Structure 1
Amino acid sequence: MNELVPVGPISPLRQRLIDDMTMRRFSRETQRNYLRDVGRFATWLGRSPHTATVEDIRRFQIEQQDAGVPAPTMNSIVAALRFFFTHTLDRPELARKLVRTAHARKIPVVLTLAEVKRLLDATTCLKHQAALSVAYGAGLRVSEVSALKVSDVDSKRMLLRIERGKGGRYRNAMLPEGLLVLLREWWRAGRQQGIMLPNGWLFPGQNATVPISTRQLYRIVVEAAEAADIAKRVGPHTLRHSFATHLLEDGVDIRVIQALLGHAKLNTTAFYTQVATKTMRAHCLA
């Protein structure tokens, strides 16, 4: 019986994993991904994962690789299983046997300033424009945009408080003056529409008691890019990539950008130097 796949009531083991992630303030998206990936292993194992052995871990990884599972997907599974074995089952000896797969990181797609403006202007309503403007203007992940509440906007310090960042980390993001003006405009419109609750979500979904979904935000970006006649493959994370690259090109210190993005490692942020260099060369040759 697979205790991690929800069939009927939630099993004690699945609930324990959920509690462990909630206690560490993991985002809803991270929790969903971890439950899916640990469930994938449990389904492969065919029995409760608390009975897993070192040999099971080894065979699982080999078979996944032989099946052609992409390296990024496999690394996501490894992260989920490491957490599960270390914190939920208290079996760190199994976590140590999980191996991350090395892979070449693709150069991210980055929009020019003109393309960003065209994309934002192509949105179909004020809420969508404000949400995408936050993704770019503050460099947020799509899950962080979705999770913002009205109370997270600190207009006195010109900051956005990110309480549900990756790995449950807290941080402050920048709030440019132009973005604050747009958010105030959206706040007034949302209040008139009756969907902006006093301590509610900054970007409510169709039901004001729940936030806009990350899937809807993705669809909004894609549709805006098509309307703006942008040929590049664009998603919500493209706006975050563009934010970081544009800051680098403006001479902002890379450690400042690391803090704004909420990266745990400087190497992750330093990757944008490759994009910025290419972008600057393109500008010089234009």
Structure 2
Amino acid sequence: MNKKIPQQLIVDAPVCPIYEEEQKRPRWRELQNEYYIVDPGCGHAINYLVWNTNSTIKPSSASTYSTHLYQFVDFLHSMGVTVCSAELEHVQQFFKYLSDNGKREGTLSLHKTSITNLYRHVDIHLGHEPNLRWDYIREFIKPSQFRTPPPIEREPISKEEIILLIENLNTQRERLVVQIALEAGLRNSDIRGLKINDIKLEEKYLDFYNRKSNIWQRMPISGELALLLRHWLYVGRESTLVDPENDHLFPGQKHEQLSGGYLNSIVTEAAERAGIQEVIGKIKITERQKVSMKTDKEYREMHKVTLHSLRHTFNQLLKDAGVPSDFRSAALGHSSPEITKKYYEHDDDNYDEVIGELFRGLQLGI
């Protein structure tokens, strides 16, 4: 199959029989506003997202799942079939299409998970009988069998690069986003989800819900960050607030919280201004994505310095400071409940001191 869907195969898109009905669900509208969920163009997929977001699908993953399902449904419709009328060969063609367009094996695995779970949901919960069985997808679709580029490895940035990055941030909000990522190792979704009550200024720590690991975590913060947060909470935040009832630390203009794309652009653009940005990989943009993204670019660039690379930097800084690997794992939310418990029973005063020394004035020992 060609990288681009042959024009002769593009037909009038079929209509999912329950699409209009599922679109009207009040909970569906709430999810779209709260988690930036994409409309997949299929009622079965909408029903799956409504049922499973906040249960089997973590909120931080809901947007990714919806985007993957949108791409799958859009591909099926271009072939003249729906989710329920598709056969295994259509799914195989979709994965060939992904690999031909430069998607990596990890991305194909995520697509397989979302598609398999969709068909399982349709079979078990909706009582419909699709032509394709979900266990066939699980058994016969092997991402490792497709030709894919090697994975892109994210590396931490150096202490000197951190200073340059900080110097090229434009606003107080940008400085806060970056410093929270550096001091607490939070993911994009965790930063966006922070609420005012999560910030404990006097005690110098913040609580956050790790959406990927489904656990609450408490992270110490430096006096420098506490001062920045105090000024933001009592002065700066008001200038960005549209809804007085919004209790997010970083409220959005149209949504309750800022978008993930915007938070990442804070870091990537500052790194570009600082002269420390590099392109470490490219992902091909499909013809249909060009239309939806309103771009004529052939590739989407993967950058060295991103919000997620600051998470790797946080881990490296703690490692360099002598913080043991199991404590670092717990701080990153990667560990088992037993290790997390051990982390919280660690000498908190010592750990707080490490954080305070590391980030005092953001000199980082330079």
1:29 and 1:114 map into 2 onto residues whose CA distance is: 31
Answering whether residue 220 of structure 2 is matched by residue 175 of structure 1, we say yes
Alignment partners' CA distance in 2, 1:156 and 1:261: 24
Instruction: Go from structure 1 to structure 2 and tell me whether the alpha carbon gap of 1:174 and 1:47 turns closer, same or farther (over 3 Å shift).
Output: same
Q: 1:17/1:154 Cα in 2 relative to 1: closer, same or farther (>3 Å)? A: farther
- Pairing partner for 1:14 from 45, 67, 77: 45
| Cα distance, 1:240 vs structure 2 | 0.9
Q: Of 58, 79, 95, which residue of structure 2 is paired with 1:61?
A: 95
Equivalent residue for 2:305, pick from 218, 234, 240:
234
The sequence identity of aligned pairs, in percent, is 25
Matched residue SS, 2:276: coil
Letter of the 2:179 counterpart: S
The RMSD of aligned alpha carbons is 3.4
Ranges in structure 1 where 5+ consecutive residues have no aligned partner: 266-286
SS at match of 2:268: helix
Separation in 1 of the partners of 2:205 and 2:245?
A: 19
8 Å Cα contact 1:110-1:241 kept in structure 2? yes
Match of 1:96 in 2: 138
Alignment match, 1:268: none
Q: How far 1:126 sits from its partner (Å)?
A: 0.8
Distance 2:306 2:155 in 1: 9
CA drift at 1:217: 1.5
Gaps of 5+ in 2: 1-13, 24-41, 125-132, 279-303, 337-366
Higher helix proportion: 1
Distance change (3 Å), C-alpha of 1:64 and 1:216 = closer
Taking the TM superposition and a 5 Å limit, the aligned residue runs for 1:105-254 are: 105-155=151-201, 158-163=204-209, 165-166=211-212, 169-178=214-223, 179-190=225-236, 193=239, 195=241, 197=244, 200-206=247-253, 210-232=256-278, 233-254=304-325
Tell me: CA distance 1:9–1:189, structure 2 relative to 1, closer, same or farther (3 Å): same
| CA–CA separation in structure 1 for the residues paired with 2:17 and 2:165 | 41
Which residue of the partner structure matches residue 70 of structure 2?
A: 39
TM-score (norm 1): 0.75
Contact 2:240 2:251 in 1 (8 A): no
- 1:163 and 1:42 map into 2 onto residues whose CA distance is 32
* Between 81-90 and 127-136, the greater mean CA deviation after superposition: 81-90
Larger radius of gyration: 2
Give the CA deviation at 1:173: 4.6
Q: Is the 8 A contact 2:69 2:114 kept in 1?
A: yes
Counterpart amino acid of 1:76? L
CA distance in 2, matches of 1:122, 1:224: 5
